[in-house]
Amino acid sequence: MISFQPSQYRLSHRRLANPSPLGLYSFATTTLMLSLVNVGARGVTVPNVVVGMAFAYGGLCQLLAGMWEFASGNTFGATAFSSYGGFWISYAIISTPGFGIESAYTGATASQLPLAIGIYLEMWFIVTVLLFFGTFRSSIALSFLFFTLAFAFLFLGIGNLMAEPACQTAGGAFGIIAALTAYYAGSAGLYSPDASYFVLPVGDLPKLRD
């Protein structure tokens, strides 16, 4: 099963339940929803419908998964889930009119809003790349997840900074791939030998020997 740890079966005797499926599912669902908007699925281009999902599922549930990973002693999982939980909460705050963030860019500063959002997204590109380097001895599934997510943030950031709709669409496409990969990885953690008649391979990568 996948558990955001270097070994696929490392947490079989843990005292706490495995929080990775919750974190991965909450990330995947919210990311897929926003990415479909970014690619213009069904003609929808306004992403505000994602705000509720970002606050509750992508934000709160993923942050809770991160805290439970801390309790389990899983530094990588705690850092990743807590970080992206923070991302979704911050995204929802930016998109909520009551916080006045988007409305601050009016008049002469209106053109700065997409640039500011582009910078915001590129910061998350940096975080994702750093996390990607921490997956090299985990599994192919996790490495591929962070690889595609990094490109999603990169292209979405460029799309805002350069006003390039094609980059926005590319970022959305990479986001869809990342979301589907997260669904698979989450299912691999959920379908344990004790709970399922089958397990999903994640492609464990070689570990350092003592």
Angstrom distance (rounded) from CA 202 to CA 94: 35
Res. 192: pLDDT tops 70? yes
Q: How confident is the model at residue 1, as a pLDDT?
A: 43
The 10 Å Cβ neighbour count of residue 112 is 12
DSSP 3-state percent helix, strand, coil across the chain (nearest 5):
70, 0, 30
Q: How confident is the model at residue 197, as a pLDDT?
A: 84
Question: What pLDDT, in 10s, does the model give residues 16-48?
Answer: 789 999 999 999 999 999 999 999 999 998 889
Confidence of residue 171 (pLDDT cuts 50, 70, 90): very high
Confidence of residue 205 (pLDDT cuts 50, 70, 90): confident
Question: What pLDDT, in 10s, does the model give residues 79-138?
Answer: 999 999 999 999 999 999 999 999 999 999 999 999 999 999 999 999 999 999 999 989
The answer for 16, left when phi > 0, alpha when psi is -120 to 50, beta otherwise, is: beta
Q: How confident is the model at residue 59, as a pLDDT?
A: 98
Confidence of residue 210 (pLDDT cuts 50, 70, 90): very low
Res. 154: pLDDT tops 70? yes
Res. 5: pLDDT tops 60? no
Give the residue extent of every domain in the chain.
Answer: 20-96+111-190
Confidence of residue 199 (pLDDT cuts 50, 70, 90): confident
